[in-house]
């Protein structure tokens, strides 16, 4: 192995990205420096936030420059270590990018326990998406027993954990997802109390039916019309964690939200958040999530694309909602 | 004095209310019961929240029923007391309604010190609007020295206190108001650092100029386009207190807010609030406000309408932004 395959950002998208915005290149295998490790990635994570990084506009994190390796989390095996903290054969997770090999600071990756869960789970339920669900639901929204928790993109990597965490806190969990199959999965396999298929065209009506006691907590992954609909169901002192607005990322003309009066009338707290701002909460979150996972109370599904070259198409499919559960790319 | 004049809600408005939605009637002077006082109101307060009470739709407080006396705060003199807590000649403030006399529970009114400030000030700077400003700015937004605080409806009863409180906390205070005269008052008399005239038609551009370091705190009284504009100037971890959305109260088709992505990107906290939910904060707020007032650091202006019959027209004018400072009606 002397060659590292990488996917670069080839150009910035206008509206929906296409495969032409990415470029696969070969480069020499990186060499780890002092206190670094060389990691062979086994699974690459594909996540909605990456879409924002493709733009030059101000966002919460630095844009990927054209010609740079696309950013992304990956889990893999240490194949060479120049750090006393990690040994050859250890599995680690970290921001290794869209590439097969990466030299990374030992301090920038986290060792994972592949006996508790298979490696790819550390990109989803026991990784950034799982911690995101925990921070938004538990820390920001503080759900109480008996409350109704609604989450959009409920079958996704974050949403699926939000609903299961809500159930473990004694809440009514209501999902919003696209398509009958996703909704069936959310209710029958993940154990939500109800799931609304927004593609069925009766969002307002179905949401009302599914939330007879109103909505106390809304975990927002989608934005736009979905947010407008949920705003009409808010209870007094409801909380909204704004985790993502995936419906708007590719919109050249953003949707205008009309029902913000509900924020005033119901004294709603709406809070945007980014999980990387809350690093101090990761240990607590991962401890909670690991405990539930070991008890079989955190079910998950993955959509696995095969090989680095498939990453751009899989990423675009995820933005269109074609994945089922967490989208990863198998590299080994 | 054997007659009490009252203004009733005659019908519910559609969109903008008109004088035909109100009706002046005469009724017998009320008699105070046990633990009640009979109050002759000297000043009636007119406030934007009253518009919401005219509608039948669910809001944070009960609607006024058609045929009932319009709700409203007033300050007046106790002319008969059946309570050991208050004596004839005391001045009190409370929810006495749009009428000249009211029998009220002694526990529902608050005695005020007419040596510290004239009676009408207890309807504004040292009353509900002042406490509203304090709760939204100090408790919800927690401004820090050097931060930029923006407030809409800056020349109004709430906004004028928000900006002066912000200055007393070492912040840059930027107002948004309608018309050059209001803006001049906000800067020259109230001491804000800048004020943007939204009627001048350059809201986005002028806001950018007035907030060179972005916006850390936004106190929202207006909503709609103004909110959309301020959202483009948010700094990371900015806070928005949603106190009112006066631009939307009479809109049959509400404005669609397009820039909510800023809430996510900048991890903004947006919090709707109603001052009556925070009764436990009133003593602290009034103590702070009273101290600043005594030091001459809380300037105010009033627009005074004469006589109960003028209340509907004065109320409609206030909804259109024609008042200057706090709108009251003099009854005695």
User: What does the domain layout of chain A look like in residue ranges?
Assistant: 3-124+301-330, 128-276
Query: What is the DSSP annotation of A1-14?
Result: --EEEEEEE-S--S
Q: What is the mean pLDDT of residues B177-203?
A: 96
Strand order in B148-152's β-sheet?
A: A194-197, A172-177, A148-152, A215-220, A234-242, A269-272, B269-272, B234-242, B215-220, B148-152, B172-177, B194-197
- How does pLDDT run across B262-298, given as a tens digit for each residue? 999 999 999 999 998 999 999 999 999 999 999 999 9
Q: How many CA atoms lie within 13 A of B79 on its CB side?
A: 15
User: At B246, is the pLDDT very low, low, confident or very high (cuts 50, 70, 90)?
Assistant: confident
3-state secondary structure of A114: coil
pLDDT value of residue B245: 86
What are the residues facing A70 on neighbouring strands? none
CB contact under 8 A, A264 and B245: yes
Max distance between CA atoms of chain A, in angstroms, equals 62
What ipTM is given for this predicted complex? 0.85
Interface test with B, best of A140, A158, A262, A270 (most B CBs within 10 A): A270
pLDDT averaged per 10 residues in sequence order, chain A, 332 residues:
92 94 97 97 94 81 92 97 97 97 96 95 96 98 98 94 98 96 96 97 96 98 95 98 85 89 96 93 94 95 96 95 89 95
User: At B173, is the pLDDT very low, low, confident or very high (cuts 50, 70, 90)?
Assistant: very high
Residues 116-175 of B with CB under 8 A from A: none
Q: What is the mean pLDDT of residues B185-196?
A: 97
Judged by a CB distance cut-off of 8 A, whether residue A58 touches chain B is yes
pLDDT value of residue B295: 95
Per the structure block, which two tokens stand in for A88?
A: 């050859």
Judged by a CB distance cut-off of 8 A, whether residue A61 touches chain B is no
Residues of A in contact with B242 (CB under 8 A): 260, 263-264
Residues of A in contact with B221 (CB under 8 A): none
Chain B closest CA to A136's CA: distance in Å?
A: 12
Closest CA to B68 of B9, B135, B2: B9
3-state secondary structure of B35: coil
The third-level CATH classification (topology) of the domain covering A3-124+301-330 is: Quinone Oxidoreductase; Chain A, domain 1 (3.90.180)
Q: What is the mean pLDDT of residues B129-158?
A: 96
Chain A closest CA to B197's CA: distance in Å?
A: 24
Residues of B in contact with A256 (CB under 8 A): 255-258
Residues of B in contact with A236 (CB under 8 A): 60
What are the residues facing A302 on neighbouring strands? A326
Nearest CA in chain B to A239: B271
Mean residue pLDDT of chain B comes to 95
The CATH code that applies to domain A128-276 is 3.40.50.720
pLDDT value of residue B305: 97
- How does pLDDT run across B3-42, given as a tens digit for each residue? 999 999 999 998 899 999 999 999 999 999 999 999 999 9
Judged by a CB distance cut-off of 8 A, whether residue A232 touches chain B is no
Judged by a CB distance cut-off of 8 A, whether residue B103 touches chain A is no
User: At B248, is the pLDDT very low, low, confident or very high (cuts 50, 70, 90)?
Assistant: confident
Judged by a CB distance cut-off of 8 A, whether residue A87 touches chain B is no
pTM of the model: 0.88
Distance CA B95, CA B119 (A): 15
Which of B223, B259, B267 minimises the CB distance to A274? B267
Q: Do domains A3-124+301-330 and A128-276 have the same CATH topology?
A: no
Which of A245, A257, A263 minimises the CB distance to B272? A263
Distance CA B143, CA B140 (A): 9
């Amino acid at each position: 192995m002397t060659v590292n395959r990488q996917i670069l950002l080839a150009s910035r998208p206008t509206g929906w990205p296409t495969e032409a915005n990415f470029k696969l290149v070969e480069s020499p295998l990186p060499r780890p420096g002092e206190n670094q490790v060389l990691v062979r990635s086994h699974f690459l994570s594909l996540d909605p936030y990456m879409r924002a990084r493709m733009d030059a506009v101000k966002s919460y994190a630095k844009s990927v420059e054209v010609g740079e390796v696309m950013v992304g989390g990956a889990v893999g095996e240490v194949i060479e270590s120049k750090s006393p903290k990690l040994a050859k054969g250890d599995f680690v997770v970290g921001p290794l990018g869209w590439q097969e090999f990466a030299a990374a600071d030992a301090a920038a990756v986290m060792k994972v326990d592949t006996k508790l869960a298979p490696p790819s789970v550390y990109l989803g339920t026991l990784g950034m998406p799982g911690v995101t669900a925990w921070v938004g639901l538990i820390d920001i929204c503080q759900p109480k027993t008996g409350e109704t928790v609604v989450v959009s993109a409920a079958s996704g990597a974050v949403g699926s954990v939000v609903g299961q965490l809500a159930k473990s806190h004694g809440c009514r969990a209501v999902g919003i997802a696209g398509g009958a199959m996703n909704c069936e999965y959310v209710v029958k396999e993940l154990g939500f109390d109800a799931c609304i298929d927004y593609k069925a065209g009766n969002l307002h009506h179905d949401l009302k039916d599914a939330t007879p006691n109103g909505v106390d907590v809304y975990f927002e992954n989608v934005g736009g019309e979905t947010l407008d609909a949920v705003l009409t169901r808010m209870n007094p002192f409801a909380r909204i964690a704004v985790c993502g607005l995936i419906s708007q990322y590719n919109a050249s003309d953003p949707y205008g939200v009309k029902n913000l009066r509900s924020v005033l009338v119901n004294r709603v707290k709406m809070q945007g958040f980014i999980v990387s701002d809350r690093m101090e909460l990761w240990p607590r979150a991962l401890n909670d999530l690991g405990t539930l996972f070991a008890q079989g109370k955190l079910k998950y599904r993955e959509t696995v694309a095969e090989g680095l070259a498939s990453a751009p198409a899989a990423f675009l499919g995820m933005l269109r909602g074609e994945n089922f559960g967490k989208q990863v790319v198998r590299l080994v």
